Chain A
Amino acid sequence: MAVALAQSSMAARLTGARVGRRRTAVDRSMRTIAMAAAFLCAAPLVAVLFFVAAKGLSALSLDLITKPPKALGIGGGAANAVVGTLQMVPLAALIAVPVGVLGAVYVGEFAGRRSARIIRFCADVLVGVPSILIGIFVFTFLVLPFKQFNAFAGAVALAVIMIPVVMRTTEESLHLVPNALREASLALGVPVWRTVLSVVLRTGMPGILTGAMLAFARAMGETAPLLFTALGSRVVNVGDFGRPMDALPLFIYVNARQPVDALNEQAWGAAFLLLLVVLVINVAVRARSWGRRIG
């Protein structure tokens, strides 16, 4: 073999043979497959946008947003769901953002390496827990004891979904705050708590806001945690967190299953509305941080 190699001309060694040609072919086909996979990663978004817009655009109207469903028969709008989402999600954020941010402050600024790692690990796992389990979990202690589905339980379930997202994004943005700034502040004789509040959190604020907004958008679209908690309601519930309340995903879920075209239409309209809001939040937040990175 070695002899054969030595005898073959340089040209043969460099341009060589079947092995090289086969490698080129494999390379080309693998590249094509990878490209197709990459395309499939992005395609669902486009497809969902397209279908939901095509079906929902015609159903989206002012009535859908402002009118409640008719008490009897078919018709009306999704005001019960819009109003419900607009109450439960902010309440969930009100619970989740302080908990998540403070938790991140503890993990990032105060905790020992070991406990930080444990808490971080738990938060990461919590992100991956099926959301219906979170619904059932909240059901057992905020619904069962009162024998009453209620919007507060819904908000708590959504908060549980949001907390780890807020915590992890906050922690990451605190991590990006240069240590030199902490030192600068402490060297001025600023107490630690004040340093965290006025220097670290303030410097990391854009990242924290991004995380909070993304968690907000995520909670808006959650259905499963609400099934066992807020339940859904055909009446417009303003402010009574002790009673069932509707939400856009619940509205879609319920109406899409009815054997009535008009109700299915409404579900499409609500879906389009939800998609629009979530998309706007996502794009706005990401565009902002994208612009910051460039600038």
Chain B
Amino acid sequence: MNLETAVRSPEETVGRPLERDQAQPHDGVPPAGRPVMAPSTPPTSSAGPAAAAEAGGEITIEGLSVYYGGFRAVREVALTIPPRAVTAIIGPSGCGKSTFLRTMNRMHELTPGARVEGSVRLDGIDIYRPDVDPVQLRRVVGMVFQRPNPFPTMSIYDNVAAGLRLTGRHKRSELDGIVERSLVRAALWDEVKDKLKQPGTSLSGGQQQRLCIARALSVDPEVILMDEPASALDPIATLRVEELIAELRRNYTIVIVTHNMQQASRVSDRTAFFTMGEDRAGYLVEADDTVKIFTNPREQLTEDYISGRFG
């Protein structure tokens, strides 16, 4: 993967999720309720160099501290996020989960005075290297927010197309196809295909969130960061988003911040537990397979937290 430039060489394009769909015979309307998906590959397949190239989107974090001015919000995190899997970040309020998440697409830089130490490498490339453009980075590492935030001035169609139009990388003829595929992947197509021209804000909260996911998918990212994506949704909408995450992890690296431990245990393959230290800085207590964290954690702190003794 080449982070320095938005233009990807043909080799790099091979096996990219959306193109994979394109390569398949596309018979218009997908079966009801089921998104058209590439043949499923296990999250961390280990089949030869070609498959390894396909499974891009591994994030390696070392010695990462985040500061807001003089205040250290996150302290010395070392964590590897496997590609094509869901990694959940759990922990009590204020332990820097969201801050940590936002360092992975450099969104924290929008806060004046915020800075990081340490390294975040995406497929081996340090995203804090001076020659890495944060704008390009965010096209590779997409984000979904806590509250659904569709653009209120835009239709459903335009919201999904916005990612391409506003990044100036679309060909008119491709737009329809990309919008449809993104909506299909976000499990929203069947609900909106007859009203694409209606405003995005006319949808229900859960639909709006899936619209935002579709929008994030439209620019063809490798990684999707989700900052409590279901916390503003009702239980049924939450379930749909969780099902969607389960589908998406075949093709994307997903990092999800959640304060809902049940959700973490339902959707994730790996779980990282953060908490707040004496110095009010958040730090990583441990990270492991989700099953392990929830049944047999190494650290007492983790056990206390997941058994509801604090937080």
Contacts and interface: CB of A to CB of B under 8 A. Distances in A.
A and B assemble together: yes
Interface of A: 178, 180-192, 194-195, 198-199, 202-203, 205
B167 A190 contact: yes
A188 B212 contact: no
A183 B149 contact: yes
A112 B142 CA distance: 28
B145 A180 contact: yes
B255 interface: no
A190 B215 CA distance: 12
B145 A186 contact: no
Given A178-B149, A181-B149, A188 B107 contact: no
B47 interface: no
B147 A180 contact: yes
B163 A188 contact: yes
**Range of interface residues on chain B?**
20 to 34
A190 B151 contact: no
Nearest to B144: A187
B149 A188 contact: no
Contacts of A205: 153
B105 interface: yes
Interface stretch (B18-26, B30-38, B132-140, B269-277): B132-140
B153 A202 contact: yes
Given A180-B147, A185-B166, A189-B167, A203 B219 contact: no
A184 B153 contact: no
Considering the complex of A and B, which 5 residue pairs feature the smallest CB-CB distances, nearest first?
Answer: A189-B139, A187-B143, A189-B138, A180-B149, A190-B166
Given A186-B138, A203-B153, 16 more contacts: A180-B145, A183-B143, A184-B149, A184-B215, A185-B166, A186-B107, A186-B110, A187-B105, A187-B142, A188-B162, A188-B163, A189-B137, A191-B167, A199-B151, A202-B153, A205-B153
19 contacts: A178-B149, A183-B110, A184-B150, A184-B151, A184-B212, A184-B215, A186-B135, A187-B138, A187-B216, A189-B135, A190-B166, A190-B167, A195-B166, A198-B165, A198-B166, A199-B151, A199-B166, A202-B151, A203-B151
B235 interface: no
Nearest to B136: A189
B151 A188 contact: no
Contacts of B140: 189
Contacts of A182: 110
Interface string B194-231: 00000000000000000010011001000000000000
Interface string B145-169: 1010111110000000011011110
Interface in B9-63: none
A295 to B, nearest CB: 13
B107 A187 contact: yes
Contact of A188 (B138, B147, B153): B138
Nearest to B221: A189
Interface of B: 105, 107, 110, 135-140, 142-143, 145, 147, 149-153, 162-163, 165-168, 212, 215-216, 219
A195 to B, nearest CB: 7
A178 B152 CA distance: 10
Contacts of A180: 145, 147, 149
A190 B135 contact: yes
A191 to B, nearest CB: 5
B253 to A, nearest CB: 16
Contacts of A185: 151, 162, 166
A194 B138 CA distance: 14
B107 A183 contact: yes
Nearest to A180: B149
A188 B145 contact: no
A15 to B, nearest CB: 54
Nearest to B164: A188
Contacts of B110: 182-183, 186
Contacts of A199: 151, 166
Contacts of B163: 188-190
Contacts of B145: 180, 183-184, 187
A183 B107 CA distance: 8
A191 B143 contact: no
* Of listed A185, A187, A203, residue having the most chain B CB within 10 A: A187
Nearest to A112: B112
Contacts of B219: 188-189
Contacts of B216: 187-188
A178 B137 CA distance: 23
A271 B101 CA distance: 63
B137 A188 contact: no
A61 to B, nearest CB: 44
Nearest to A198: B166
Contacts of B149: 178, 180-181, 183-184
